[in-house]
Amino acid sequence: MPDPVSQPRPAAPNDRVLLARLRAGEQEAFEVIFRAHYAQLVGVAEAMLRARAPAEDVAQDVMLELWRRREEIVLETSLRAYLIRATRNRALNQIRHRRVAERTRPEDLGRSTAPSADQDFAEQELGAAVKRAVGELPERCREVFELSRVHGLTYAEIAQVLSISVKTVETQMGKALRVLRERLSPWLSGGRT
């Protein structure tokens, strides 16, 4: 039985009316949307970023982008779902940027030793296989896996971000790990983990 929370919901009539007013440039409609959703967007971003100030920046950026792009936005789900997804994506971008910046700090660049050509090739081949295998996971499975393993979120945080139960997160993670184990068996020691 599908998880009803994870099913996309069509835009509510109120959302369509607010969006139409927003497209017409009505600042009052924007203020209604802002008051209704801002606190939740900050909460979603804070669960991912683990800091209040950057979370507020992300939520403000999402709201600013909503105003800037108001004439071109098409809702396939509810306005709430659209804003949460935009917030989640911006927070993930910020996490990625932070990790890249940490890996490329000048003091860390001189420490690594050059790997052998064979080792470098094997790592590239394994990296490509992992990327391909993760990319082939079903969407929800891939989201859960990446939020956990790439971005370091707990199952409870993932459940909050994706608006699903912790049990669904556990199920999706188990499925992702099973599929990855199968697809990556040629690269795992002895073909098994």
On the question of pLDDT at 193 being above 60, the answer is: no
Residue 119 in this model has a pLDDT that exceeds 60: yes
Q: pLDDT tens-digit profile of 152-191?
A: 778 888 888 888 999 999 999 999 889 888 888 876 654 4
**51 HSE (CA, 13 A, CB side):** 8
- Between CA 81 and CA 103 the distance in angstroms is 33
Per-residue pLDDT reduced to its tens digit, 27-63: 999 999 999 999 999 999 998 888 999 999 999 999 9
Q: How far apart are alpha carbons 68 and 60 in whole angstroms?
A: 12
Q: Give the predicted TM-score (pTM) of the model.
A: 0.53
Are the CB atoms for 23 and 71 separated by under 8 Å?
yes
Confidence band for 136, pLDDT divided at 50, 70 and 90: confident
Contact 9, 78 (CB under 8 A): yes
Q: How far apart are CA 43 and CA 40, in angstroms?
A: 5
In percent, the amount of the chain with pLDDT more than 90 equals 35
- Asked which of 28-32, 36-40, 116-120, 122-126 is least confident by mean pLDDT, the reply is 116-120
DSSP string across the chain: ---TTTS--PPPHHHHHHHHHHHTT-HHHHHHHHHHHHHHHHHHHHHHHS-HHHHHHHHHHHHHHHHHTTTT---SS-HHHHHHHHHHHHHHHHHHHHHHHHHT-HHHHTTPPPPPHHHHHHHHHHHHHHHHHHHTS-HHHHHHHIIIIIT---HHHHHHHHT--HHHHHHHHHHHHHHHHHHTGGGSGGG--
Residue with tokens 């017409």: 24
The single-letter code of the amino acid at 169 is V
Mean pLDDT value across the chain: 81
Give Cα separations from 55 to 32, 66, 150 (angstroms): 20, 17, 19
Instruction: Quote the percentage of the chain above a pLDDT of 70.
Output: 80
